[in-house]
Amino acid sequence: MVYRGHVENGVIRFEGTPVLPEGAEVEVRFLSKDTAREETEGVDPKAPTIEEKIAAIVADVPPSEWDRLPADLTEHLDHYLYGTPK
């Protein structure tokens, strides 16, 4: 996960309110305009987006498999993934 922010009086101020667990290890990287350009070099603008890739995968799933998903999956996703209480 990536949180963005800026330095103000020597303190990093994040945009929004990130939730960071106590004791979490973090990495701070200085971003300049040159850094942003370097990160996009070599990216193929014709390459499919992540949305297009997911849509192609979803298209291959038969409707009968989608019918097997719980009706409340989106509401209780953590329960189905991690076993948290509903």
Claim: this prediction has a pTM higher than 0.85 = no
Is residue 15 a contact partner of residue 5, using CB atoms and an 8 Å limit? yes
Q: What pLDDT score was predicted for residue 41?
A: 67
Q: Of 42, 8, 12, 43, which Cα lies nearest the Cα of 27?
A: 12
Q: What pLDDT score was predicted for residue 45?
A: 79
Which tokens go with 10?
A: 């020597």
Residue 63 backbone zone (phi > 0: left; psi -120 to 50: alpha; other: beta): alpha
Residue 31 has pLDDT above 80, yes or no: no
Average pLDDT, the chain: 86
